[in-house]
Structure 1
């Protein structure tokens, strides 16, 4: 407990899970069956920046099936390690533009990731369902995802509730960790860039004896940032090991320790509906507030066993501990005519503990001529989130305002008072089953269902109210694929999903969970050599029981809203020729509110563009002396988006909506491999120094995009 917790809160019992390890079922490891994976691992070069040319993937761990990706009746986009390296990506945010249908949402002043797929956001803070190796990764307070220990990122489009339970119908993101190799390899990397950015990293792997292999990824980053008074530091430690327990059994571990410290920066403000009234560098908080610090600790173990040639099991446990603490001053209210902007002062102390257990049995059964790949799974988790915050709101006597045109910092801090003091507890036990069926040579069928039994409570220690509910949900899905040729697939799928709503109405009755229905029709193409692939999909999604304002009781909500997303998306990626590789995507999406008590019915959702797309191309060749080079670039376009939720009253009055303007940005990438062990890179982002705004929450919380930035890198293998 921090000083804030001890001073302000009355004593009460809190769960303090203490877990040294356990057995974590990580789908990143799901296709491995322990020692039998040695041969495959020893031939894959994934240490340091690679030149494998792999943009297109032909399998996906998050689907929990051995069915090739082309045959899977679902749209999936995999961002490979090669794509991350070509982009010079070090954070999840760096790859989002190159996946169709992914948009940025409110990210709490840059303190965590928050994205939406197909325009449908999840929780207003933590966003859609995000997984790390198949386990929930965004319950609690998680720093922006660093890619130092990441092998690939899987964007599973559409509903995944039949496998993972509570999730968004637009899609689910699964981050796959790097795994140990059975041959020694090491790389060190160093980067220096604009705005004082310095980063160094280490990736080391290899065997220790005949039955044990390790991997260690370390990253250290510091940056001054382009925003005034907003610097940051990040530390990442990601150890992993594989321990062969016998001929058919193995224990695998993937851990991560992250610490990030940076001011909570709510961005710039709009004057009326006009952006650009102040420089994109201007900070409207208080430099003396210091950093908000996020610390994450994750442990995942998996015990796998291959019982026979057709059956295998996995047993695992995951533990995630998160915390967020610090002081910040943030905008509150509209900008006045004289340029003054009222602010709130917040002191936060948030903590969470998340323990999850998975047990799976997977095997193949032939019934007549029909081949079945069966999966039986049991999952249970226990999650506790402890939120304590003090705040000071502006008053006439102590306005605590700042002039946006002529800011003066160092004002006396107003006195803090109680704001938030609650503990949320979630308990869930679920059973799921999936059957991936080979009906015939050219037909595939996947059917699955998951039953969840939740117990949820929210204790508000300020009011003394306890809201409890025990929602249950059954989430089915079915998908059918037709393979008319070795290259083409036509597929369709349908599924349902849910997500529990936190809190209660004015009567103290817990909100009903959000429920969703998703339909998808698409086609896939994959070249015979599996180096190129494309997917095009049509989707229609409806989400109900969205929280909306209670029309009879100001300040309260009811679960009565409804939203809908309809559109088309296209992805293409792979090695075009010996010299060229390409990644391209496009989405046209119509996301609208179809029912709400206060928001404009027929209006769009926050931060959801109608058009978004990008292209990335890289040319590579060798020199006569054996050296090698690559040069390429990318272009991203994002259409107009709603920048603040628009009420029905504003629409009826003809008040113009606040919209973020569309933007197009470009980047250049290049490398020179001086020798097999030494390589230099150059990345230039926002090449034409475009002023743009990737997301916002309101007119006074608008995130400005980074100006032109240059990064030089050196990678050395030994």
Structure 2
């Protein structure tokens, strides 16, 4: 039996009814499989292909079916997945009887990636079995908020190689690009925070849009306020789940080539480092280089990543790893202005407002670790830590200002130089598990988290002179770097909090969830490094942030839910009058959400419909009685009041054998209650649709062929502000101010994919984006700056090999 299950074989079992798939598996694995006929009836399998052990093949074959298996001597016995820890997801599809150290007979360790329900690698699915956005592995149906998970399969099918790519495909997300980085918004609100492997909440850093996805198993977005775990803004929080080391040796090599001389090579090797698989490792490397549709622009990237997993005991897991990513961006400034009268200039898509020598250098190192101790079958203690070091340097010149429609003048040349060094440490410690009371199973999570950010920021803006003709600019010379900075600041932020959540079941079908966070440390310091003086010192008082929700499993596989989350954002950096003032109270608000979630085909297809409403009150505004002078911290009043509400619909997973779908639709209506209900987030469209499908042909006739297609469509959006009218006396645009509104019509961007698997090891695919070569603005802003074109039609060909 040991030889049968531990040795690797090639498997080729297409998606089909589970009963026939199990028959094929038994023949190809050389094993006896026992299962009642009624257990298999009505179930389908997504299939399995590739070279692997018998246990891994069966785990993948049963993924999403609701079945698990046991090893009994020389026989594999199939059975229902047991209910473990109430609403928590059982740890994988395999249970082993009489396995000793958990690996005898080639069985799967309960601490390994194969037993981790959060892992999506190898599942071939767009529907995750579980996610850890709430610290514990839970199915999407048991999370009372909207959650989108981009699985490993979808990352590969759509060639989503950066976080920017992922955000462009994530339900409800709009992308605001600028010349240095990008910001992301959901429900008209900023997505400000991220978590890694379910750890403590991290502040975003510049250049996050360039984070490479090669090292991640999945990327999830929780929409709405998540103050319970330290992310108070209601736009949402990103959760990055890293790939894990596997118990079986595996080498993947991927090569990409595409439009504008873009080339990329990935290497990914994993496997056991000790004879019994108790120590496992993984290493990933990336080299990426390419130009752009914009003139001068070129990007280069190098990444190395490694981790080691060790089963210190049968119930203790240690994970430690390191990532280093370096990026260089040349000729990067592609932000465009408009004419002074607000009319679109109609500049070609390859136009660049910067110089050929502009550059950004970014380097990020991350040290990470996790220690997990299981206590019996129901409890675990987890310690997660990340330490990030980022260095970001920029040397650039750019043209700014609106353009005179008569002669093309009006632009100014500026030098911009910066040097930013960031260090961030996050630590999260929690205990989680379940207990029995009154005949029901209940769940509890208690934890503490800590984050410390230290950032040294130095910059220099230098006026160069006028530019007379936007269509024939004269580029300034590259200045020396580094210069003598005119602004130098060191900021230190330290936050710490206790959190807890209790999920009780008055009856089996009802979950009542209550919890809260006690934020008892929130300190910010800013130092002027030119004068070595303390700019400001902010300490926010302790605050308790409550959370409540309910989930009713009203029908098999379907749940109704409702949740209320508090919004809390410190703004103690502003002072209320009279001078010198005292710290302004925080922004507060609530995030309401209700909806229905469902799982079909034993979890292979997941869907949700959600209604949400967000209110935020008390954001800082200038005090009319004593306005701030020259950027002073005093005086401000709590005057802001915004509301955002709408509907979200999602569907992810396998519709029928071979067809995967990812569908997301968002309706958003946001208003500024202090501005006659004018739109608060103008660039957020009211209607946003994102759809992607991929079909792998079944049967022998077209075996190996797959095709995909998708669309991203949105209704119109706009940007408003104030510009000056043409003065007939001077012939210049220095007349009275009037309000403008730049509106972009709705658009749809189509994409497609075709792929062919030569065998279980090699495949080739081609992705065609913006099929109809639509010209559109992915980001709009004012007349003088911030308007960016979306990508023209482009193609990427990918060759994948697995050994």
Q: Match for residue 166 of structure 2?
A: 95
Q: Match for residue 591 of structure 2?
A: 518
Q: Match for residue 146 of structure 1?
A: 212
2:135 to 64, 78, 94: 64
Q: Match for residue 16 of structure 1?
A: none
Q: Match for residue 573 of structure 1?
A: 652
Structure with larger Rg: 2
1:226 to 293, 309, 319: 293
Establish whether residue 634 from structure 1 lines up as the match of residue 705 from structure 2: no
Aligned pair in 2 of structure 1 residues 197, 216: CA closer, same or farther (>3 Å)?
same
Measure how far apart 1:57 and its partner are.
Answer: 2.0
- SS for the counterpart of 2:772 is coil
1:292 to 350, 354, 360: 360
Establish whether residue 54 from structure 1 lines up as the match of residue 130 from structure 2: no
- SS for the counterpart of 1:592 is strand
Measure how far apart 1:334 and its partner are.
Answer: 2.2
Aligned pair in 2 of structure 1 residues 392, 654: CA closer, same or farther (>3 Å)?
closer
The answer to whether the 8 A contact 2:120-2:217 is kept is no
- SS for the counterpart of 1:643 is strand
- SS for the counterpart of 2:153 is helix
Measure how far apart 1:627 and its partner are.
Answer: 4.4
Aligned pair in 2 of structure 1 residues 280, 569: CA closer, same or farther (>3 Å)?
same
Q: What is the correspondence of 1:358-373 to structure 2 with a 5 Å cutoff?
A: 358-373=428-443
Establish whether residue 183 from structure 1 lines up as the match of residue 183 from structure 2: no
The answer to whether the 8 A contact 2:294-2:334 is kept is no
Q: Match for residue 17 of structure 1?
A: none
CA distance in structure 2 between the aligned counterparts of 1:712 and 1:673, rounded to whole angstroms: 14
Q: Match for residue 492 of structure 1?
A: 562
Aligned pair in 2 of structure 1 residues 602, 149: CA closer, same or farther (>3 Å)?
same
Q: Match for residue 104 of structure 1?
A: 175
Measure how far apart 1:476 and its partner are.
Answer: 1.2
Q: Match for residue 155 of structure 1?
A: 221
Q: Match for residue 531 of structure 1?
A: 604
CA distance in structure 2 between the aligned counterparts of 1:490 and 1:213, rounded to whole angstroms: 41
Q: Match for residue 374 of structure 1?
A: 444
CA distance in structure 2 between the aligned counterparts of 1:339 and 1:153, rounded to whole angstroms: 45
CA distance in structure 2 between the aligned counterparts of 1:207 and 1:625, rounded to whole angstroms: 38
1:192 to 240, 257, 272: 257
CA distance in structure 2 between the aligned counterparts of 1:191 and 1:285, rounded to whole angstroms: 29
Aligned pair in 2 of structure 1 residues 51, 382: CA closer, same or farther (>3 Å)?
closer
Q: What is the correspondence of 1:257-656 to structure 2 with a 5 Å cutoff?
A: 257-263=324-330, 264-271=332-339, 272-289=341-358, 291-337=359-405, 338-340=407-409, 341-393=411-463, 398-401=464-467, 403-410=469-476, 418-452=485-519, 453-461=521-529, 464-471=533-540, 472-501=542-571, 503-504=573-574, 507=580, 510-551=583-624, 552-553=627-628, 556=631, 558=636, 559-595=638-674, 602-622=678-698, 624=700, 627-643=703-719, 655-656=739-740
Q: Show structure 2 runs of 5+ residues with no match.
A: 1-88, 96-100, 726-735
* Larger deviation, residues 552-561 vs 537-546: 552-561
CA distance in structure 2 between the aligned counterparts of 1:88 and 1:460, rounded to whole angstroms: 44
CA distance in structure 2 between the aligned counterparts of 1:246 and 1:626, rounded to whole angstroms: 48
CA distance in structure 1 between the aligned counterparts of 2:313 and 2:478, rounded to whole angstroms: 66
- SS for the counterpart of 1:664 is strand
Q: Match for residue 231 of structure 2?
A: 166
Deviations 1:548-607 (A, max 9, x none): 4554346547353232211111111111111322111111101222237xxx76233142
The answer to whether the 8 A contact 2:127-2:151 is kept is yes
Q: What is the correspondence of 1:195-214 to structure 2 with a 5 Å cutoff?
A: 195-209=260-274, 210=276, 211-214=278-281
Normalising by structure 1, we get a TM-score of 0.87
Aligned pair in 2 of structure 1 residues 376, 197: CA closer, same or farther (>3 Å)?
same
CA distance in structure 2 between the aligned counterparts of 1:266 and 1:138, rounded to whole angstroms: 26
Measure how far apart 1:409 and its partner are.
Answer: 2.2
- SS for the counterpart of 2:337 is coil
Deviations 1:141-182 (A, max 9, x none): 34422110111111112211112x133113211111101111
CA distance in structure 2 between the aligned counterparts of 1:247 and 1:562, rounded to whole angstroms: 53
The answer to whether the 8 A contact 1:54-1:575 is kept is yes
Measure how far apart 1:352 and its partner are.
Answer: 1.0
CA distance in structure 1 between the aligned counterparts of 2:271 and 2:244, rounded to whole angstroms: 10
Deviations 1:309-349 (A, max 9, x none): 22211123220111111211234332234323113211101
Q: Match for residue 131 of structure 1?
A: 195
Q: Show structure 1 runs of 5+ residues with no match.
A: 1-28, 122-126
Deviations 1:640-660 (A, max 9, x none): 22335579x9xx976231233
* Larger deviation, residues 32-41 vs 674-683: 32-41
The answer to whether the 8 A contact 2:572-2:585 is kept is no
Aligned pair in 2 of structure 1 residues 562, 403: CA closer, same or farther (>3 Å)?
farther
Measure how far apart 1:371 and its partner are.
Answer: 2.2
Measure how far apart 1:351 and its partner are.
Answer: 0.7
The answer to whether the 8 A contact 1:628-1:672 is kept is yes
The answer to whether the 8 A contact 1:139-1:354 is kept is no
Q: Match for residue 242 of structure 1?
A: 309
Q: Match for residue 707 of structure 1?
A: 792
Measure how far apart 1:297 and its partner are.
Answer: 0.9
Aligned pair in 2 of structure 1 residues 549, 294: CA closer, same or farther (>3 Å)?
farther
CA distance in structure 1 between the aligned counterparts of 2:215 and 2:447, rounded to whole angstroms: 27
Measure how far apart 1:667 and its partner are.
Answer: 0.4
The answer to whether the 8 A contact 1:129-1:136 is kept is yes
CA distance in structure 1 between the aligned counterparts of 2:148 and 2:565, rounded to whole angstroms: 19
The answer to whether the 8 A contact 1:87-1:94 is kept is no
Establish whether residue 77 from structure 1 lines up as the match of residue 148 from structure 2: yes
The answer to whether the 8 A contact 1:273-1:659 is kept is no
Normalising by structure 2, we get a TM-score of 0.78
- SS for the counterpart of 2:554 is coil
CA distance in structure 2 between the aligned counterparts of 1:42 and 1:612, rounded to whole angstroms: 35
Measure how far apart 1:533 and its partner are.
Answer: 1.4
The answer to whether the 8 A contact 2:120-2:151 is kept is no
Measure how far apart 1:503 and its partner are.
Answer: 4.1
Deviations 1:280-315 (A, max 9, x none): 2111112223x1111111111111111222221112
Measure how far apart 1:53 and its partner are.
Answer: 3.7
CA distance in structure 1 between the aligned counterparts of 2:102 and 2:322, rounded to whole angstroms: 20
Deviations 1:523-568 (A, max 9, x none): 1121142111111111110123334455434654735323221111
- SS for the counterpart of 1:93 is helix
Aligned pair in 2 of structure 1 residues 324, 503: CA closer, same or farther (>3 Å)?
farther
* Larger deviation, residues 53-62 vs 372-381: 53-62
Aligned pair in 2 of structure 1 residues 353, 659: CA closer, same or farther (>3 Å)?
same
Aligned pair in 2 of structure 1 residues 30, 45: CA closer, same or farther (>3 Å)?
closer
Greater RCO (CA < 8 Å, at least 6 residues apart): 1
CA distance in structure 2 between the aligned counterparts of 1:512 and 1:334, rounded to whole angstroms: 38
CA distance in structure 2 between the aligned counterparts of 1:167 and 1:655, rounded to whole angstroms: 33
The answer to whether the 8 A contact 2:391-2:422 is kept is yes
Aligned length in residues: 670
- SS for the counterpart of 1:82 is helix
Q: Match for residue 693 of structure 1?
A: 777
Deviations 1:97-145 (A, max 9, x none): 433211112x442x44421121112xxxxx5212222344444334422
* Larger deviation, residues 604-613 vs 685-694: 604-613
